[in-house]
Structure 1
Amino acid sequence: MSSAEEQLEYVKSHISTYPDFPKKGIIFRDIFGALTDGKACRYLRDLLVQHIRSQHPDVELIVGLDSRGFLLNLLLATELGIGCAPIRKKGKLAGELVGVEYKLEYGSDIFEMQRSAIKPGQKVIIVDDLLATGGSLAAATQLVRKLGGVILESVVVIELQELQGRQKLDCNVHSLIQY
């Protein structure tokens, strides 16, 4: 088996880069290149699970952000033997909802969660593929706290450091890959 550093380099080598997407001047970093490679996908899972197990053995719920965070939250929750819950864009969930508006680097949106998704005091890790300007992750932390969740950490695969999204967050952040 490869070392964690070798696994991380393998995953990073499979991250796709798309200049000028979704608009001119943005360099889009995409995890789908890694997810289409079985070895990179397995390494990504292993790296994230190992981090969570070692740093937050008491986590009770993994919350994934719409939409790429969904690819990770069920996978991680299953490996950890805990539950998972989605944060979705407005209009995608049924039932009693709580919402938060947020700004993106190229617009704004609203995140929602089902009111019953988090029990008060439940220990939560929020997961997503990318931390850019921090708007969506900041909204997610606000939403989890509105529902009474205790955020242990936000975990992302990729962090675009030059956009300083981490500065907008009032929780610990772990990123596997930094650009």
Structure 2
Amino acid sequence: MAEGKDNSKLELIARCIRPFPDFPSKGINFRDICPIMKNPAALTAVIDLFEKHVLETHPVVDLIVGIDARGFLFGPLLAQRLGVGFVMVRKKGKLPGPTVSVAYTLEYGTAEAEVQEDSVSPGQKVILIDDLLATGGTLFAACELLRKQEAEILGCLVVVALGDLNGADKLKPHTVFSLIQY
């Protein structure tokens, strides 16, 4: 894919992200990705750019792991393109059967994330995907879950990264690839 074509795709994606000041609380500038989902060209651009990045940086991927809930929007599309499986990391209590869980801290309390016990095998090469990286708490918890499963974490993909919240620092040594940065 030519660089100019990548830039036009990034511009389309950026145009589809709309800010909502003071949502969900005062002082937060919420970045809404919903317009991407209703614009087929923008959604295709997201998956095209993620696919290009993965193919250029990770020649072998076994699974795409989507984070509840918006990672479920992009993850299966990318997994299908790459010809690999898709696994869900969900909020506690949402998955049937035996699960592995990890507790984590949010800016407003605590939560638990879980994955089905048999969804990831030791040594499998995985990429995590979500819509947005803020403080990094949720992606960090997902990485912890996958470490418990003895997976090899290749990196994380997000549509939007909020750089001033330093979420990528929390995820080191894992890399974070983001399409749009604020």
Same fold at TM > 0.5:
yes
Aligned AA for 2:181? Q
Q: What is the root-mean-square deviation of aligned Cα atoms in Å?
A: 1.2
In structure 2, the partner of 1:134 is 136
In structure 1, the partner of 2:56 is 54
1:177 aligns with 2:180: yes
In structure 2, the partner of 1:4 is 6
Superposition pairs of residues 8-157 of structure 1, within 5 angstroms? 8-157=10-159
Inter-partner Cα distance in structure 2 for 1:29 and 1:75: 22
Inter-partner Cα distance in structure 1 for 2:107 and 2:11: 28
SS in structure 1 at match of 2:118: helix
User: Which structure 1 residue ranges, 5 or more long, are not aligned?
Assistant: none
Aligned AA for 1:93? L
Aligned AA for 1:154? C
Q: TM-score scaled to structure 1, two decimals?
A: 0.96
The alpha carbon displacement at 1:167 in A equals 1.1
Sequence identity of aligned pairs in percent?
49
Inter-partner Cα distance in structure 1 for 2:32 and 2:55: 25
The alpha carbon displacement at 1:108 in A equals 2.2
Aligned AA for 1:151? I
Inter-partner Cα distance in structure 1 for 2:135 and 2:81: 29
Inter-partner Cα distance in structure 1 for 2:89 and 2:135: 18
SS in structure 2 at match of 1:3: helix
Please give the per-residue CA displacement for 1:92-139, whole angstroms capped at 9, x wherever unaligned: 001111111112233321100001010100000000000000100110
Aligned AA for 1:15? I
SS in structure 2 at match of 1:128: strand
Q: TM-score scaled to structure 2, two decimals?
A: 0.95
